[in-house]
Structure 1
Amino acid sequence: MLNDRLEALGDNPFYRLATLLAGSQPRANETPLMMSAGEPQHAPPALLAETVARNAHLWGKYPGNEGSPEFRRAVAAWLGRRYALPEGMIDPDRQVLPLSGTKEGLYMLAQVAVPAEKNGRRPTVLLPNPYYHVYSAAAVMSGAEPVFLSATAETGFLPDLDAIPEEALERCAVFYLCSPANPQGALAGIDYLKRLIGLARQYDFLLVADECYAEIYDGAPPAGALEAAAALGGSTDHVVVMHSLSKRSSAPGIRCGFVAGCPDLIRLFARLRSYGGPSVPMPLLAAATALWEEETHVTENRALYRQKFDVAERVLGKRYSFYRPPGGFFLWLDVGDGEEATRRLWSEAAIKVVPGGYVAKPDADGRNIGKPYIRVALVHDAETVEAGLGRMVRTLG
């Protein structure tokens, strides 16, 4: 059964990209530029290394599965400040758990949130389309049926909640939402989130709000699921959020994030992780605590991304249906045929991107809504981004 489920997943987007470009060497006399992976290239704040060094004596201790009290308090305090939550809404000892990056949490949480049956039938996991491949893996490996909800320009690049089939909602165990969205950068507003929480409680499913890009935005700060829960009275029933330091603090290598929200789910998830979840080493947990308590580096990091969107706007103009995304650090560009454009950009410009069809599934009509697009990660410095986008324009026209 395990092999059958793995086979049903297919290859993840980066394996598919490697296969697409296998044996192909760039003809262009240019330095290869990887604009495919969302791996932040900004220097992490000095605070990270300094704190790890101060806590080097803790390398000799096993880290606890639940993290440190200081970490949990820092997270609860940050959530309260960032989303203006009522005092005491998030109990750091009952509603916060560290993660070895949100990828781990997004995948493993489904193992406790998806039952064998929902209303006497196979459960569903609802997820946006395009999607982060971990959502689909979590659904399939937990035995659920993944249901892909189209998130196109016509729907504001978010799933249309009114278009979800009643039957899928009745069987739903988990709903994954990413805001700001990967790859389109769309933001779920407070009313959208309140509506979604209402559906979660009406149909008894867990809303998993993936908010790892929440601190990279162009204008106003994005709303959050806990903020919406506060507006509905303060209960976190049926709601969890996940955040990470990878994007916020340009620290993907620290592998530290958190899940917060529904205490019953947090309790069950803590039990599961005590068996198979990787714990965050204590020196890294100390550094993560310090990073959640410090905001200057986050503001500076956000300003660097804004500069790069200024560059993209200037270089691309109206090409490829460019729009300035309100959040995240990806461009979602309509180039007609994403796979063909990816081949050309690699062979003729030494630029690696991801075909949009690799992060999307065909809809009910058999149309892959990501096929015309490429996903471009603006993770390098502004000068490198400008050079890369210039090469893209010269290659694709």
Structure 2
Amino acid sequence: MNPLLSRLQPYPFERLRQLFAGVTPAAAYSPISLGMGEPRHPAPQLVKDALIGHLAGLGHYPATAGEPQLRAACAAWLQRRYGLALDPGSQLLPVNGSREALFAFAQTVIDPSQGPPFVVCPNPFYQIYEGAALLAGARPYYACSDPARNFAVDWDAVPANVWQRTQLLFLCSPGNPTGAVMPLAEWQKLLALSERHGFVIASDECYSEIYAHDPPPLGGLQAAAASGRGDFKNLIAFTSLSKRSNVPGLRSGFVAGDAALIKSFLLYRTYHGSAMGPSVQAASIAAWGDEQHVQENRARYREKFARVTPLLARVMQVALPDAGFYLWARVPDAFGLDDTGFAQALLAQYNVTVLPGSYLARAVQGHNPGAGRVRMALVAETEECMQAAERIVQFARSHADRPPSSIST
């Protein structure tokens, strides 16, 4: 077996399953899950129609690079969304969702032959970044976010000798789980570091179309172009239809940026066997070409956040995120519970599932920046999210003044 597999930590949802193994959910309440970031709004009809209408394509092997029509549709979306003119033949590549692409990209660009390099990622973070780094023979370096600065990552705390040995930087803006959006100045700092040290930037932008207010979140390619780096050297952006169009099961997205990196990534994927099926390509063309369903989707999230956030803010430290569909809430100190204990007790007493923040981060110098927080995914319909929020308020008020030993799980 590959010995690097032993370095992987259990995935957050496996840890959550183990955490809840001895918990009996309150039978008096219907189950509500805010734990998993899986969009549950209806998939657009135009995507369904395109998928069903192109089933004849199942009789053919697809090209790894995708059909020209799909690449053109993705490039047209980049033009409309960010004002960028990319060559769809050399600067863009369809992928089977951003998750598999983020993992595979690390295997493409990491060279561990001179000793393990660093892969820098935010902390808290999407666990694929860590797994991709470890299985590529690299060492993850965790750059912690700062709650005092709206959870902006403290890139200045990364030592110079780490940047010198860094080959890949994972970014996530809007962030998971914090919802923080990187401003242009932060992008320019990281682009300058990339230019100085030669590392590649992988910009995970799968939440870019779910935002609370205008203007839309700045994209990595957009920031590079605004900084005079129109060739996008050492920069690749990853995006997906899963959140934008409520089709996580479609497994469709694309990467775009540095043509040299796209060329190498295409070579890797040719052997990896990751071509997108023809019917999925047709459905993806329909999705990238339509904005009405995206606007309607965004409006539904805005309504949920506008109603749920003030309610939860009565009992928890929580604020409207810049973007994304998560609330990153602090467990009240008065409970005497850590984030895992809070999740257990909430499930046991009110049948609501949340994800402990410590599962989404790693301890740095003895401190886990996710500890004491929980991530709530507002992916269900508005009324169900409101029910969950009302139960959390009841839970908080009934336990705030009780001694920790009396809070049953």
Q: TM-score range by the shorter chain?
A: over 0.9
Q: Deviations over 1:182-210 (max 9, x none)?
A: 01100001221122111111110111100
Quote the residue 1:73 is aligned against: 72
Shift of 1:156: 2.9
Say which of 97, 105, 130 aligns to 1:136: 130
Quote the residue 1:204 is aligned against: 198
Indicate conservation of the 8 Å contact 1:6/1:141, yes or no.
Answer: yes
Classify the secondary structure of the residue corresponding to 2:375. strand
Matches within 5 A, 1:115-154: 115-117=111-113, 120-154=114-148
Indicate conservation of the 8 Å contact 2:315/2:396, yes or no.
Answer: no
TM-score, normalised relative to structure 1: 0.96
1:318/1:168 CA distance change after superposition, 3 Å = farther
Classify the secondary structure of the residue corresponding to 1:80. helix
Quote the residue 2:227 is aligned against: 232
1:265/1:188 CA distance change after superposition, 3 Å = same
Matches within 5 A, 1:357-372: 357-364=358-365, 366-372=366-372
Letter in 1 for 2:190: L
Q: Deviations over 1:107-160 (max 9, x none)?
A: 01001111124xx54200000000100000011000100000001213431222
Classify the secondary structure of the residue corresponding to 1:321. coil
TM-score, normalised relative to structure 2: 0.93
Residue 324 of structure 2 is aligned to residue 328 of structure 1: yes
Residue 159 of structure 2 is aligned to residue 165 of structure 1: yes
Residue 387 of structure 2 is aligned to residue 392 of structure 1: no
Residue 178 of structure 2 is aligned to residue 184 of structure 1: yes
What is the rounded CA distance, in whole Å, between the counterparts of 1:296 and 1:27 in structure 2? Answer: 40
Runs of 4+ more than 6 Å apart: none
Indicate conservation of the 8 Å contact 2:122/2:142, yes or no.
Answer: yes
Quote the residue 2:291 is aligned against: 295
What is the rounded CA distance, in whole Å, between the counterparts of 1:247 and 1:378 in structure 2? Answer: 12
Indicate conservation of the 8 Å contact 1:193/1:224, yes or no.
Answer: no
What is the rounded CA distance, in whole Å, between the counterparts of 1:317 and 1:71 in structure 2? Answer: 43
Residue 344 of structure 2 is aligned to residue 343 of structure 1: yes
Classify the secondary structure of the residue corresponding to 1:207. strand
Letter in 2 for 1:227: Q
Shift of 1:346: 0.9
Quote the residue 1:223 is aligned against: 218
What is the rounded CA distance, in whole Å, between the counterparts of 2:6 and 2:326 in structure 1? Answer: 29
Q: Deviations over 1:8-54 (max 9, x none)?
A: 11101011000000132213411111110000010011001111122
Q: Deviations over 1:202-251 (max 9, x none)?
A: 11011110000000001120001101111122121010000000000011
Indicate conservation of the 8 Å contact 2:146/2:154, yes or no.
Answer: no
Shift of 1:278: 2.2
Shift of 1:285: 0.6
Shift of 1:60: 1.2
Quote the residue 1:109 is aligned against: 105
Shift of 1:318: 4.1
Residue 58 of structure 2 is aligned to residue 59 of structure 1: yes
Give the unaligned 5+ runs of structure 1: none
What is the rounded CA distance, in whole Å, between the counterparts of 1:391 and 1:60 in structure 2? Answer: 50
Give the unaligned 5+ runs of structure 2: 398-409
Indicate conservation of the 8 Å contact 1:341/1:396, yes or no.
Answer: no
Quote the residue 2:2 is aligned against: 2
Aligned residues: 390
Quote the residue 2:382 is aligned against: 382
Indicate conservation of the 8 Å contact 2:362/2:368, yes or no.
Answer: yes
What is the rounded CA distance, in whole Å, between the counterparts of 1:223 and 1:165 in structure 2? Answer: 27
Shift of 1:313: 2.4
Indicate conservation of the 8 Å contact 1:128/1:158, yes or no.
Answer: no
1:6/1:155 CA distance change after superposition, 3 Å = farther
Indicate conservation of the 8 Å contact 1:338/1:373, yes or no.
Answer: yes
Classify the secondary structure of the residue corresponding to 2:153. coil
Letter in 1 for 2:362: K
What is the rounded CA distance, in whole Å, between the counterparts of 1:313 and 1:103 in structure 2? Answer: 28
Letter in 2 for 1:70: Q
Q: CA RMSD in A?
A: 1.2
Residue 289 of structure 2 is aligned to residue 273 of structure 1: no
Classify the secondary structure of the residue corresponding to 2:176. coil
What is the rounded CA distance, in whole Å, between the counterparts of 1:297 and 1:15 in structure 2? Answer: 33
